[in-house]
Structure 1
Amino acid sequence: MGTSVDGRRAYVGSFTTAGGLGITTAAVDPESGALTPLHSTDAVPNPSYLAPSPDGRYLYAVSETPDGAAAAFALTPRGPELLAPAVPVDGADPTHLTLAGGRLITANYSSGSVSTLPIRADGTLAGPATVLTHQGSGPRTDRQEGPHAHAVLPDPGGRWLLSVDLGTDSVRSCALGAGDGTLTVHAEAGLRPGSGPRHLAFHPRGDRAYVVNELDPTVTICRWDADRGVLTPLGETRLLPDGAATEDTFPSVLVVSRDGRFAWAANRGHDSLSVLSLSASGDTATLVTTVPCGGHWPRDLALHPDGRHLYAANERSGDVTWFTVDPATGIPARGGSVPAPAASCVVFV
C-alpha cells in the first residue's frame, strides 16, 4: 500500500446520510501530526466505525443502517477498495466493530445485540451472522427502554470479548466459540443505574479498564480479572469541572496513553477533551483540565500509535482536529484540522 513519511495512513469513517464522504484516506505528517486528505470511497453507506486487520492489508467497516451490515476493504495505494458486497450482521445500526478469533464482531445499537461473522483467508466476510441478543433495561426510559450494545472489544489477553451496553448499564464478558463463533455470556458487571456505559479502554498493563458513560459524564474505573473473566467497578470520576452544566453533555469515547499515566475522553455537547491523570495502580483517575475539541460534537478520539498526537473526529462541525500531547502534563495542544463532513471515526494503519 502507499505510505506517508512514517509509513502510516489515517482512515476517517463518516455518515454518508449526513453528507459524509464515506471512508477518507489521509497522509500523516510524523512530526506535526497533520493530516492531508488523499481520496475517499462511499462504497458502503455510513461506514461510521472502522477496524484494520493486524497485518494492515484490510480495513473493515460497519454500515450503520437500520438493516445493519459490515464490509471488507483491501488497502491499496489507491485507497480502500471494496472486496465484496457488504454482509448483513442481522442487527440494527451497528456502531462498533472489532476483530477476534478469526471473526469480525459488531455491536448493534438499536437491536441491542452483538454479531459475529467469519473472516475468510482472502479477507472477505462470510455469513450468516451468529447473534447474541442482550436482555435488560435501565431507569432512563427515554434511552434505556431496552438493551443498546454500543461497543465490543477483546480483552488484552484475547480470551474474552467485552460488550458495553448503554441500555442495561452493564458490561458483559463473553466467550467466543472457536467453531461457529457463538458468543456465550460468562459474566455481567453492573454499573451505576442510569450511567449509560458507551465505550471501554484498557490500561496498557491489562488489569484495569475504563468505561466512559454517555448518559452522565463520568468514567467508571474497573478492575479486570482476566483469569476469571470478571470486571469489577472500583469508582467513578466526573469528566467535567465542578460547576459545569452536564445535562447536554454526552461523552463518546476514552483513550489511554501508552505508558498508562494519562487518559483522554471526548465530550459531545461540552465539545471538549477531558484530561485525566491515572494513578500508578490505575485505580483512580483525576481530572486535570478540559480543552476545546476544536469543533462540535466529538464522536471519536484516537491516539496516534506514536503516542504524541490525538485526533478528534468532530461529527457536527465536519472536521478532524489534531493535537500534540505534552508528555509531562498530558495536556493536548491544538495543531490544526482538516474538513471531514460527518466524521465519526479515525484509525491508523
Structure 2
Amino acid sequence: MADGGRRRRAFIGSFTAAGGPGLVTAAVHPDSGALALRGRLDGVPDPSYLALSAGGDTLYAVSETADGAVAAYRVNGDKLEPAGPPVPVGASGPTHLSLHAGHVLTANYGSGSVTAVPLRADGSLARAPSGLHQHTGSGPHERRQRGPHAHQVQPDPSGRWLVSVDLGTDSVRVCTLDRGTPALHREVALRPGSGPRHLAFHPDGAHAYVVNELTPTVTVCRWDAETGSLKPLTETQVLPGAPAGDAYSSGIVVSPDGRFVWTATRGEDVLSVFAVEGEGLRLTGTVPCGGHWPRALAESGGFLYAANERSGDVSWFAIDPGTGMPRYEGSVGVPAASCVVFDTVAAE
C-alpha cells in the first residue's frame, strides 16, 4: 500500500487497431487499489506492452505492428510526452519489452527474434538497434508453431542473463548481452506443443515458472544463475478440469513473498491460484477475471490487476494474505486493454 507521502500510479497499454486509446495513465487509490483514469496519449500504434525506467520518469512501449517499433515517453505527472521518435526494431510484432544493462530489449513475436536498442544517458532511445538475435525452429502445432515466435524477454534476477520465451519452438533461450547484441548461451526445450508464453522468477532466484499458452499449464523450473541453466521439473494444469472451450493461458505473476503464483487464462476467462510447495505448485482455486480475454496480469500493493482485452477493461482484486485467493473489487473501462504496469511516486 502507499505510505508516508507516496502514491501509486498505473500505466495501461491498449490495441489501437481494435479501438483502444493507446497509452493511458491512472491514479491508484491507496486503500482500495481502485484505478481512476487521468490522461491518455493518442497516436501511438498498438502499444501492447510497457516497461518503466527504474526511477519511473520514462515509460517505454512497443508498437505491436508489422513494422514493429519501440518508443520512449517522459512521465510528467499524469501526462506522457514523447522522448524522441519511435525506433524500428528490425522485426515484426514485438509483444514484450524489458530493460537491461543500458538497453531496451524487445521480444518480436512475428519474426521470432529479440532486439536490443541502446539507451542514452537521459533515458531516451538510440536511433537504431545495436543487435538482434534470430530464433530458429518450430513445433508440432500446425497453425501456431510453423516457426519461432518470441513472446517475452527479460533479465534474470542476478542480472547476468537474458531469458527469452518462444511459443513457436517450445523452448526458453538463455542469452548474454554481448556488446549490445543478444548472444545465445543455451536453449532449453519444454514439452512439444505446450507453447510457452511468459516466465516469472520466484523471489528466491532459484526457481522460475513458465505459463504455457497452447496447453493451459505451468512448467516449474529450477534456475541456476551461476551457469545460466534452466531445468524443467514439473508441469501443472491451470484449470481444475478439462476446458469447456478454448483456453489460452496468458499472464503469470509470483507474489512478492513467494508463497503464491497466479495465472490468467483467456477463453475460460479465469485467474488461477497456486500455492508454492517446495519445488512444485498446487492449484487451490480459480475466480472469474472480471471481464473477457485477460491478456496480462500484474500485482501491486497487495492487489491483482487483469487487463481484459475483449471486454475492454482493467479489473482489480484484493488478495487474501492467507490463501492468495483474489476477490473482485471493481474495474475501469479501457477498450482493447493489453497491459498494466505500476510505479510509486512522491505525493503532490
TM-score (norm 1): 0.96
Alignment of 1:275-294 (within 5 A): 275-279=273-277, 281=278, 283-294=279-290
Equivalent in the alignment of 1:317 = 311
Question: One-letter code of the match for 1:309?
Answer: F
CA distance in 1, matches of 2:167, 2:79: 34
Equivalent in the alignment of 2:102 = 102
Equivalent in the alignment of 2:33 = 33
Equivalent in the alignment of 2:24 = 24
> Which 4+ stretches in 1 moved above 2 angstroms?
3-6, 242-245
Unpaired runs of at least 5, structure 1: none
Q: Is the 8 A contact 1:202 1:208 kept in 2?
A: yes
CA distance in 2, matches of 1:190, 1:202: 18
1:223 Cα deviation after fit: 0.3
Equivalent in the alignment of 2:225 = 226
Q: Is the 8 A contact 1:14 1:342 kept in 2?
A: yes
CA distance in 2, matches of 1:170, 1:149: 10
1:4 Cα deviation after fit: 12
CA distance in 1, matches of 2:64, 2:226: 34
**124-133 or 86-95: which moved more?**
124-133
Equivalent in the alignment of 1:235 = 234
CA distance in 1, matches of 2:43, 2:299: 26
1:125 Cα deviation after fit: 0.7
* Aligned-residue RMSD, C-alpha: 1.3
CA distance in 2, matches of 1:6, 1:267: 33
1:187 Cα deviation after fit: 0.8
- In the alignment, is residue 252 of structure 1 matched against residue 250 of structure 2? yes
CA distance in 1, matches of 2:106, 2:250: 17
Q: Is the 8 A contact 1:6 1:29 kept in 2?
A: no
1:122 Cα deviation after fit: 1.6
- In the alignment, is residue 157 of structure 1 matched against residue 158 of structure 2? yes
Equivalent in the alignment of 1:119 = 119
CA distance in 2, matches of 1:143, 1:232: 25
CA distance in 2, matches of 1:104, 1:172: 18
CA distance in 1, matches of 2:176, 2:241: 40
Unpaired runs of at least 5, structure 2: 344-348
Question: One-letter code of the match for 1:312?
Answer: A
Per-residue displacement from partner, 1:125-145 (whole Å, max 9, x unpaired)? 113221110000000011000
Per-residue displacement from partner, 1:86-120 (whole Å, max 9, x unpaired)? 00000100000000010000000010000000000
Q: Is the 8 A contact 2:7 2:30 kept in 1?
A: no
What percent identity do the matched residue pairs reach? 60
Q: Is the 8 A contact 2:139 2:145 kept in 1?
A: yes
Q: 3-state DSSP class of the match of 2:17?
A: helix
1:5 Cα deviation after fit: 7.1
